[in-house]
C-alpha cells in the first residue's frame, strides 16, 4: 500500500456551486482554467483557499463547449469541461500538506493549482519499525479472525506478554479476542460529539478540584500551584506559570553522587547581586552603594571581583569605585530618573547560575534511588546545555517554553501529561483520550494556543459561535461591517437558530434526486 502521491488539481469554489454539484453529480462542469492532467484523476476543492474540503473524481476532460445540463464555475472565460463522476465531503486537509511540482508547500489557492499529497497509511506507519515474527503473527491473527487492524502499540504489548509468560496459542487467541472486544468498544461512532463529551468529562471533575497551593512532592522549601488554578493555566496556555519549576535528572556519572548533584545545583541556581549584598541608593552624590555580605558570598561561591565584573553589563554610563569593602557606582550624567533605573538594574544583575532559576534543591528519588534537582523557576534551553544533565528525562511545567525549545509535538505531550497529573493528584480519574483531544486542538496549527477567546474559541469560523462565547456585540458588529457569512456547520450556531446540529443523527442528510425526463 502506498500513499496518494500523484499530481492532483486543486481549485477554489463557492458553497452554492458545491451544493448543486452534490445534488446533480455525475455532471459536466465548466471551469475557467486549463487542465493539464489526463483522466481519470482525483481533484480537491477548497472553499476559503486554506484547506481542501471536498474530493472529486474526474473521468473526462475536454475543451469547453456548451452542453445541455452542464454546470458552470463562473459565467466568463470558460475554458475546460470536466466530467465529475462523484463529489464527496472530506475531513479538511490544510493546503500546506500539498506540495507544488518544485517541492514548495502550497500556502493558499486563489483560483487553481497543482500539487502532490502524500497520505501515510496506518500500515506504512507500522513499517517505520519492522514487526517481529511474534508481532506479525498477532497482527495477522486479528485481521484473519476478526477483520480488525489492531493498533501497533496493542500488538507490541501482547507480543511482549507472550514472550515473557510463554503463552500458548489457545491462550493467545483468547487474549486477542479480548483485546479486539475492548478495542471495538473504544471506537468512536461516526459523527459522535467527541468535543462535547470531552468537555463534560473534564469539566465535571473540575468542579470538585481544590483552589489551594500545595507543597511540591514532599519538598517543604517549595510551593507549586495545583488543582483548578493549574488546570486553568494549562488550557489558557499561560506564557508564564504562576509557579514555574523544573525537575532535572542527572546523567549516569552524576546521578548517584550527592556531592556531584549539589555541585551542579550550585551552578544552576542563579545568584543575583541583591542575594549577596545590600544595595543603598545615595541621592546626595547620585550613586548606588553595594555592601557585600561576606557570609552569603562564601555560601554561594561569589567574590567581590565577580560583582565588579558583572557591573560592566549595565547599559547606563557609570563610574565604578571600590571603597574598602563597599563598591560605589556613580552615574556619569546625574539624573534622578536614571538613578532609580540604575538601582533596579544592579539588583537584577546575575553573578552566576542560570537566569530565571531562583532556587535549586537536591533530593533523593525514592523510586530509582538517584539524586534529582528540583528548581523554583525554569530555563529549559540553558539547563539542557549544561554538562551532567540528562536531557531526555529533564522536564519543566512551562508548556510554552517546551514548545519554543523542543517543538509543538513535545508541547502537546506536555499538555497531556500536566493535565493528567493535575487531575490524578486530586484523586480524579479522567480518560486520557479526552485530554489528548484538548491537546490536539490547542496545538493543531503548529503552535500552542489557548482554548478561550484569545485562542481556539475566538477564532471559530462561525460568527454566531464567537458571539455566543463572549463579547456578543463586538463580534456581531465586526461581522456586519466585513460582510461575513455563517455556514451554520457547528453546534452553537445551529442551537441559536433553532435547527438540528450537524452531529449524530443530525449529520445525516437525505436528498431526493428525481428522474430526469
Quote the percentage of the chain above a pLDDT of 90.
Answer: 29
Mean pLDDT of the chain: 84
Return d(Cα 516, Cα 60) in angstroms, integer. 22
Residue 455: pLDDT band (50, 70, 90) is confident
pLDDT at 412 over 90: yes
pLDDT at 304 over 90: no
Written as nine digits, the cell of 31 is 471551469
**Distance of CA 125 to CAs 1, 107, 151, Å?**
11, 26, 10
Residue 5: pLDDT band (50, 70, 90) is low
pLDDT tens figures, 217-263: 455 556 778 888 899 999 999 988 988 999 999 998 888 888 889 88
Q: 3-state DSSP call for residue 41?
A: strand
- Position 322 scores a pLDDT of 75
Angle at the Cα of 490 from the Cα atoms of 484 and 491, rounded to 5 degrees: 130
Return d(Cα 279, Cα 258) in angstroms, integer. 35
DSSP character string of 111-168: SEEEEEE----HHHHHTTSPPPHHHHHHHHHHHHHH-----HHHHHHHHHHHHHHT--
Return d(Cα 433, Cα 419) in angstroms, integer. 12
Return d(Cα 173, Cα 211) in angstroms, integer. 49
- Position 213 scores a pLDDT of 56
Handedness of CA 227, 433, 89, 8 (dihedral sign): positive
Q: 3-state DSSP call for residue 91?
A: strand
Question: Per-residue pLDDT averaged across 274-293, rounded?
Answer: 78
> Domain 7-119 - what CATH class?
mainly beta
- Position 133 scores a pLDDT of 85
Residue 89: pLDDT band (50, 70, 90) is confident
Name the nearest CA neighbour of 109 among 48, 43, 187, 174.
48
Sequence spans of domains, the chain: 7-119, 125-186, 271-352, 460-507
Question: Per-residue pLDDT averaged across 290-305, rounded?
Answer: 78
DSSP character string of 258-306: HHHHHHHHHHHS-EEHHHHEEEEEETTTTEEEEEE-HHHHHHHT--HHH
Return d(Cα 4, Cα 429) in angstroms, integer. 40
Torsion of CA 392, 393, 398, 404, to 10 degrees: 0
Written as nine digits, the cell of 210 is 481544590
pLDDT tens figures, 469-485: 778 888 889 889 998 88
> Domain 271-352 - what CATH class?
alpha beta
Return d(Cα 22, Cα 149) in angstroms, integer. 32
- What topology is assigned to 460-507 in CATH? DNA polymerase; domain 1 (1.10.150)
Residue 121: pLDDT band (50, 70, 90) is very low
β-strand partners of 122: none
Q: 3-state DSSP call for residue 34?
A: coil
Question: Per-residue pLDDT averaged across 339-366, rounded?
Answer: 82
CB 62 within 8 A of CB 108: no
CB 61 within 8 A of CB 80: yes
The residue among 481 and 305 whose pLDDT is bigger is 481
- Position 404 scores a pLDDT of 93
Amino acid at each position: 500500500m502506498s500513499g496518494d502521491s500523484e499530481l492532483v488539481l486543486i481549485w477554489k469554489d463557492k458553497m452554492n456551486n458545491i451544493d448543486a454539484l452534490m445534488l446533480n453529480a455525475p455532471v459536466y462542469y465548466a471551469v475557467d482554467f486549463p487542465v493539464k492532467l489526463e483522466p481519470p484523476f482525483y481533484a480537491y476543492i477548497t472553499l476559503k483557499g486554506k484547506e481542501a474540503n471536498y474530493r472529486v473524481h474526474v473521468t473526462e476532460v475536454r475543451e469547453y463547449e456548451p452542453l445541455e445540463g452542464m454546470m458552470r464555475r463562473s459565467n466568463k472565460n470558460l475554458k475546460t469541461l470536466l466530467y465529475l463522476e462523484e463529489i464527496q465531503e472530506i475531513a479538511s486537509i490544510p493546503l500546506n500538506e500539498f506540495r507544488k511540482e518544485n517541492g514548495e508547500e502550497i500556502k493558499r489557492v486563489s483560483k487553481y493549482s497543482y500539487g502532490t499529497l502524500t497520505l501515510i497509511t496506518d500500515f506504512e506507519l507500522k513499517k517505520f519499525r519492522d514487526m517481529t515474527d511474534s508481532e506479525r503473527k498477532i497482527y495477522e491473527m486479528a485481521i484473519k479472525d476478526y477483520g480488525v487492524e489492531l493498533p501497533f502499540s496493542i500488538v507490541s504489548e501482547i507480543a511482549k506478554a507472550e514472550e515473557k509468560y510463554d503463552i500458548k496459542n489457545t491462550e493467545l487467541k483468547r487474549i486477542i479476542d479480548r483485546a479486539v472486544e475492548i478495542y471495538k468498544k473504544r471506537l468512536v461512532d461516526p459523527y459522535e460529539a467527541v468535543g462535547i463529551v470531552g468537555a463534560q468529562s473534564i469539566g465535571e471533575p473540575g468542579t470538585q478540584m481544590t483552589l489551594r497551593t500545595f507543597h511540591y512532592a514532599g519538598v517543604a522549601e517549595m510551593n507549586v500551584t495545583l488543582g483548578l488554578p493549574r488546570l486553568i493555566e494549562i488550557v489558557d496556555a499561560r506564557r508564564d506559570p504562576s509557579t514555574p519549576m523544573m525537575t532535572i535528572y542527572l546523567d549516569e556519572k552524576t546521578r548517584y553522587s550527592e556531592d556531584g548533584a549539589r555541585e551542579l545545583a550550585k551552578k544552576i541556581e542563579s545568584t543575583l547581586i541583591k542575594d549577596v549584598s545590600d544595595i543603598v541608593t545615595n541621592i546626595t552624590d547620585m550613586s548606588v552603594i553595594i555592601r557585600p555580605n561576606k557570609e552569603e558570598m562564601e555560601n554561594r561561591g561569589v567574590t567581590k571581583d565577580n560583582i565588579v565584573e558583572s557591573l560592566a553589563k549595565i547599559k547606563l554610563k557609570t563610574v565604578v569605585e571600590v571603597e574598602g569593602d563597599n563598591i560605589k557606582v556613580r552615574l556619569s550624567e546625574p539624573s534622578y530618573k536614571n538613578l532609580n533605573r540604575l538601582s533596579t538594574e544592579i539588583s537584577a544583575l546575575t553573578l552566576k547560575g542560570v537566569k530565571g532559576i531562583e532556587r535549586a534543591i537536591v533530593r533523593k528519588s525514592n523510586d530509582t534511588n538517584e539524586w534529582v534537582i528540583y528548581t523554583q523557576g525554569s530555563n529549559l534551553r540553558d539547563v539542557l546545555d549544561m554538562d551532567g544533565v540528562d536531557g531526555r528525562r529533564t522536564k519543566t511545567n512551562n508548556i510554552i517554553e517546551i514548545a519554543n525549545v523542543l517543538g509543538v509535538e513535545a508541547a502537546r505531550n506536555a499538555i497531556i501529561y500536566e493535565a493528567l497529573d493535575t487531575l490524578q493528584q486530586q484523586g480524579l480519574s479522567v480518560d486520557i483520550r479526552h485530554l489528548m483531544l484538548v491537546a490536539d486542538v490547542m496545538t493543531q496549527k503548529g503552535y500552542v494556543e489557548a482554548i478561550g477567546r484569545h485562542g481556539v474559541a475566538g477564532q471559530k469560523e462561525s460568527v454566531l459561535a464567537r458571539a455566543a462565547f463572549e463579547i456578543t456585540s463586538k463580534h456581531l458588529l465586526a461581522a456586519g461591517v466585513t460582510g461575513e457569512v455563517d455556514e451554520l456547520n457547528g453546534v452553537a450556531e445551529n442551537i441559536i437558530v433553532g435547527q438540528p446540529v450537524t452531529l449524530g443523527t443530525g449529520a445525516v442528510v437525505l436528498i431526493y434526486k428525481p428522474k430526469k425526463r
